[in-house]
Amino acid sequence: MNLAGYAIRHNVVTLVSIILVTVGGILAYGKLGRLEDPEYTIKEAVIYTEYPGATAEEVELEVTEPLETAIQQLKQLKEVRSISRPGLSIIFAEMQEIYDKETLPQVWDELRRRVDTAASHLPPGCKASVVNDDFGDVYGVLFAITGDGYSQHDLKEVSEDLRRELLLCPNVGRIDFWGIHSEAIYVEVDRVKLAQLGLPPTAIFDAINQQNAVTEAGRVKVGPEDVRLRVTGDYSRIEDLGEQLVQGGSQRRMIRLKDVARIERGYLDPPNEILRWNGSTAVGLGVSTGSGGNVIAMGEAIKERLAQLEARIPVGIEIHPIAHQGEKVREAVREFVLGLFEGVLIVILLLVVFMGLREGCIMGAVLLIIVFVTFLCMYTLGITLQRISLGALIIAMGMLVDDAIVVVEGTVIKSHQGMSRSQAAEKTVAETQWPLLGATAIAILAFAAITLSKDMTGEWLKSLFQVICLSLGLSWVFAITVTPYLCVTFLPLAKRSEKDPHDNPFYRSYRKLVGWCIDHRWITLAVVMAQLLIAIWGFGFVKQDFMPDMNRPQFTLDVWLPEGTHIYETSNQVAAIETFVRTLDGVRDVTSFVGRGPLRFLLTYEPEMQNSAYGQLLVTVDHYERISTLREQLTTYLKNHHPNAVTSVDAFKLGPGGGAVVARLSGHDVNTLRDLAEKVRAVMYAHGNTRSIRTDWGDRVKVESLRLADARSREIGVTRPDIARSLAMNFSGSAAGLYRKGDDLLPVMLRPLRDQRCGVDNVDNVQVWSTAQSRWVPIDQVTEGAVSCWEDPVIHRLNRIRTIRVSCKQVTGTTDTLFRQLRMPIESIELPPGYKLEWGGEHEEHEEANQKLMSNVPIAFIAMFLISIMLFNTFRHPLIIFLCLPLAVIGVTAGMLLTAKPFGFMAMLGFLSLSGMLIRNSIVLLDRTNLEIAEGKSRYGAVIDAAVSRVRPVSMAAFSTVLGMTPLLWDPFFAPMAATIMGGLTFATILTLVVVPVLYSTFFRIRR
């Protein structure tokens, strides 16, 4: 195969092809989808089931258990976990990693079938289970809609109008609301009047239900027409409810509802969730991007549409961005593209300085062509521009010219030896194309463990491998086609020179060094081994961390009050914190969410489930560097002013795990689990570097329990459900029917007047209707007083076993450091038989990601070893190559300590990819050695000459990679990987240029 000769002789075809693919790449760049983070599928569905009136334990045993049993029979299931609260079961079904967005819809269908089958056996009173498989949707654009003087109803109307319009914008996938207070029609009856009139509650319920029910009235044939029949009389106004006649009492009189009740339109009380933006009541509107969509284009389309709708939006209504991924992505892409071209410029300048102007420009041109063609391939394959794919381009930047350096260097040298430019280029390509292909394949395989890792992290980082595979593959293709063409076209005609091009002080010094090291091989190897051992020892001082914090200028402040706290109390405390936060320097906006976490506006963010005792503040600052200072100020304030709350102030993490140490205790007895959790908490409290210590079960809550008087209640004709319904109607209200207004269906709620339903003292004044005696009976006649008791407000389970999680976070340092310090004391706690301790949180995510990654490393390394054997047809050459790999540890340790970067998942990935780069350099060096020997030189001279002839291309390839990655040192996500590769490659390359000749001489017994 002589592609170089074809490209040189068909120069017009080559030139036109270069122009076409370059222009295509430039156009493709403008059309590439843009996201902040790559898409990945959250393989989790949530199943909600309401069971009104049941305790958490009753929900667990009667609802959660049978549903979990059915779900666990799914062969696609990875794990099932659940939350059982009074009246509500929440089950999370997570599927195995092998399922993706194409196959998951079928899995969700099977999940629904199993849930529906199990739901038919649930106890009476259970509502239908709801399966939400859109739990992982990311609402990249999240607005807060406020209006001074406007009601929640007005904000809802505006929000719904905006949803109708914004759904028409390109790239918009889905729009949901947050913080809308459900409306209701309240019929507030006077309890005393009901008792005096002897009017049963069922009379009111039946009257409202029957009057406003939608009922088919049939149709009649009128001549050739089919005419539908209608009956008027349903409620068209709220006042119509007041005119409703109700029959009841001992004399069966007809009574107008307005004579015994006050009727008004209001909001369900208490609300499930409360949203405020800078202290103003708000409604949240979240917009998600369609699959593969361009979030920047979507953001622009939304901005343009909102400007067009400005005239329709009522005066005083304001739309504030809480999170706008489009703007973040635009800024991130701009910074990454700037870093990309900085890398290109650095590499080109390096090549120009060390290889000459024309040679440097040729390789710079090749580099730019590869980048643009990579964009074209990304567009063809549907790979978006985001944090990972752009980072991959910067990582690959220096490696993209490695093959071109070898071809240009060989062409220049052969030209000086008297060959024509075309002969020199063709001969160089013929000698090096297969070793370069093998070296390129090995460099690609070093990243293959990423795409083979079948977990969330592997799916998230998939585009890293894809882009590196594309760009490196293209670099080899262009090195053997475009580079020879450019060398023949632009390199000057070289005069034959008898002078050795490697005869200068640098090469002479290097030649002497290699010769001395070969002659004193055992001393050399001993020194290298000593350096390696010191580096391994020094690695123990490198910080460990799974994923770093984002440089996002936002942070969260989570507030957990004691379980059972009323949502209004939670809202008041969160409002007080919010007021203080807004006074701090650097704070721009504060959005508070009470009752549950917000819509998922970030891929790595996991919102809290419904909990009236929970609130979260999302604080926007002018620069992310302020977060650490603000965290200290807020921690002091919260400790002094809200001591009863567990709080956590955190920047956003770039990966899963949440940055917490989580101890999971599993067993069957609730009391035993709580005792064990207290022991774990005690260990965490005793440590001086912990904060935000909490359990996910919370403390037990107080319950007022009325004791049923069995004999008297049977005599009077009152049952336990009668008492329960009377209490519910008195304090929470009972649904009596529906009121229709346009597309709104509002529940009609029956409840007493305010002074008759507020406060626990009113329990004694509750009246219960006796159907047997057709009269109201005081509740104290059918009960024997009330007692206060304590019960579990929530029960968590993992794989159908009760599990309590105890978590904490570090004040300073990394989560991994805190985990290592807490592990032994906590694991030394004695567990009863049948109970177990497991570690969750960041440690579990880190271990799982590393395990999945490392499980595929042997496959990649076996493939790399086989390619090495195929290139050299010996065992000794691959052995020499792989013995040099540990030398990278020397540079990695130095790089991590000098830059003070933690060694985490991305650094581990960098370490693995570093192996491919080192093997590539070693192959180039060993291949040249074989060529020198084949030309008839002595073996000793061939080793020395090969090392000297390859010192510049190997060094240039390594240092262009190192300098090309410099922009990544300032990116929080890629900085650990960049430090690993830059340090490892720098030191390992210098050592490789000495150690490979020494090992070659040792294995092949070569002496002077």
518-561 pLDDT, tens digit per residue, is 989 999 999 999 999 999 999 988 888 777 777 889 999 999 99
Q: How far apart are CA 215 and CA 522, in angstroms?
A: 97
Q: How far apart are CA 256 and CA 104, in angstroms?
A: 56
CA atoms within 13 A on the CB side of 952: 22
Tell me the percentage of the chain whose pLDDT exceeds 90. 37
Q: How far apart are CA 181 and CA 940, in angstroms?
A: 84
Q: 340: closest CA among 398, 393, 385?
A: 393
Under DSSP, the state recorded for 886 is: G
Q: How far apart are CA 88 and CA 596, in angstroms?
A: 14
Structure tokens at 375: 């964009």
Report the 10 Å Cβ neighbour count for 621.
20
Per the prediction, the chain carries an average pLDDT of 87
Would you say 657 and 846 are in contact if contact means Cβ atoms under 8 Å apart?
yes
Q: Who wins on pLDDT, 850 or 711?
A: 711
Structure tokens at 652: 């956003």
Q: Who wins on pLDDT, 991 or 343?
A: 991
List the domains of the chain with CATH numbers: 200-222+230-259+701-791 (3.30.2090.10), 356-492 (1.20.1640.10), 502-541+874-1007 (1.20.1640.10), 558-582+594-652 (no CATH)
Least confident of 126-130, 165-169, 232-236, 991-995: 232-236
Structure tokens at 950: 């390859």
pLDDT of the residue at 292? 65
pLDDT of the residue at 352? 82
Angle of helix 975-1003 relative to helix 939-964, nearest 10 degrees, comes to: 180
In terms of average pLDDT, the best of 236-250, 501-515, 590-604, 704-718 is 590-604
Q: How far apart are CA 590 and CA 276, in angstroms?
A: 8
Cα-only R_g, the chain: 36
pLDDT band (50, 70, 90) for residue 251: low
Structure tokens at 710: 């069995």
Using the predicted structure, report yes or no on whether residue 500 has a pLDDT greater than 70. Answer: no
The stretch 692-713 carries a mean pLDDT of: 89
pLDDT of the residue at 70? 94
Residues 6+ apart with CB under 8 A from 373: 21, 22, 24, 25, 474, 478
Report the 10 Å Cβ neighbour count for 495.
8
pLDDT band (50, 70, 90) for residue 933: confident
The stretch 887-907 carries a mean pLDDT of: 86
Q: How far apart are CA 959 and CA 208, in angstroms?
A: 81
723-735 pLDDT, tens digit per residue, is 888 888 888 888 8
Q: 557: closest CA among 581, 528, 537, 524?
A: 581
The stretch 106-127 carries a mean pLDDT of: 92
Amino acid, single-letter form, for residue 328: K
Would you say 906 and 974 are in contact if contact means Cβ atoms under 8 Å apart?
yes
pLDDT of the residue at 708? 86
pLDDT of the residue at 42? 81
Q: How far apart are CA 324 and CA 620, in angstroms?
A: 12
Q: How far apart are CA 64 and CA 59, in angstroms?
A: 6
pLDDT of the residue at 872? 87
Q: How far apart are CA 615 and CA 566, in angstroms?
A: 12
Would you say 809 and 240 are in contact if contact means Cβ atoms under 8 Å apart?
no
The stretch 32-42 carries a mean pLDDT of: 77
pLDDT of the residue at 49? 95
pLDDT of the residue at 501? 61
Q: How far apart are CA 129 and CA 284, in angstroms?
A: 26
pLDDT band (50, 70, 90) for residue 823: very high
Q: Who wins on pLDDT, 839 or 446?
A: 839
The stretch 780-784 carries a mean pLDDT of: 87
Q: HEC string of 702-767?
A: EEEEEEECHHHHHHHCCCHHHHHHHHHHHHCCEEEEEEEECCEEEEEEEEECHHHHCCHHHHHHCE
Least confident of 71-85, 193-207, 783-797: 193-207
Would you say 366 and 483 are in contact if contact means Cβ atoms under 8 Å apart?
yes
The stretch 15-20 carries a mean pLDDT of: 94
Preceding peptide of 747 cis, ω within 30°: no
DSSP three-state, residue 346: helix
pLDDT of the residue at 660? 86
- Burial annotation 960-980 (CB, 10 A radius, 16+ → b, else e): bbbbbbbbbeebbbbbbbbbb
Structure tokens at 927: 């291949």
Structure tokens at 252: 């069966």
Using the predicted structure, report yes or no on whether residue 901 has a pLDDT greater than 90. Answer: no
Tell me the percentage of the chain whose pLDDT exceeds 70. 97
Report the 10 Å Cβ neighbour count for 761.
7
Give the containing element (helix H, strand E) for 145.
Answer: strand 141-147
945-1000 pLDDT, tens digit per residue, is 888 888 887 888 788 778 877 877 887 777 888 888 888 888 888 888 889 899 98
The stretch 786-815 carries a mean pLDDT of: 91
Least confident of 37-46, 566-575, 632-641, 726-735: 37-46
The stretch 890-906 carries a mean pLDDT of: 86
Give the containing element (helix H, strand E) for 537.
Answer: helix 521-539
pLDDT of the residue at 499? 58
Angle of helix 387-397 relative to helix 462-479, nearest 10 degrees, comes to: 40
Distance of CA 835 to the CA centre of its chain: 32
Structure tokens at 480: 């053997």
Would you say 51 and 125 are in contact if contact means Cβ atoms under 8 Å apart?
yes
510 to each of 505, 514, 523, 952, 1004, how far by Cα in Å?
Answer: 9, 6, 18, 11, 22
Residues 6+ apart with CB under 8 A from 408: 355, 359, 362, 363, 483, 487
Using the predicted structure, report yes or no on whether residue 851 has a pLDDT greater than 60. Answer: yes
Using the predicted structure, report yes or no on whether residue 659 has a pLDDT greater than 80. Answer: no
The stretch 452-475 carries a mean pLDDT of: 82
Least confident of 308-312, 933-937, 968-972, 994-998: 968-972
pLDDT of the residue at 100? 79
The stretch 836-861 carries a mean pLDDT of: 83
Q: How far apart are CA 841 and CA 837, in angstroms?
A: 13
Q: How far apart are CA 290 and CA 287, in angstroms?
A: 10
Q: How far apart are CA 393 and CA 242, in angstroms?
A: 70
386 to each of 32, 81, 652, how far by Cα in Å?
Answer: 10, 32, 18
- What are the residues facing 739 on neighbouring strands? 746
Using the predicted structure, report yes or no on whether residue 494 has a pLDDT greater than 70. Answer: no
pLDDT of the residue at 455? 66
pLDDT of the residue at 392? 83
Give the containing element (helix H, strand E) for 275.
Answer: strand 274-277
CA atoms within 13 A on the CB side of 89: 31
Amino acid, single-letter form, for residue 842: E
Place of tokens 């209504």: 317
pLDDT of the residue at 966? 81
- Tell me the torsion sign for CA atoms 765, 769, 774, 780: negative
Place of tokens 């590499």: 347
Amino acid, single-letter form, for residue 275: L
DSSP three-state, residue 151: coil
pLDDT band (50, 70, 90) for residue 243: confident
Would you say 902 and 544 are in contact if contact means Cβ atoms under 8 Å apart?
yes
Would you say 893 and 997 are in contact if contact means Cβ atoms under 8 Å apart?
no
Would you say 61 and 16 are in contact if contact means Cβ atoms under 8 Å apart?
no
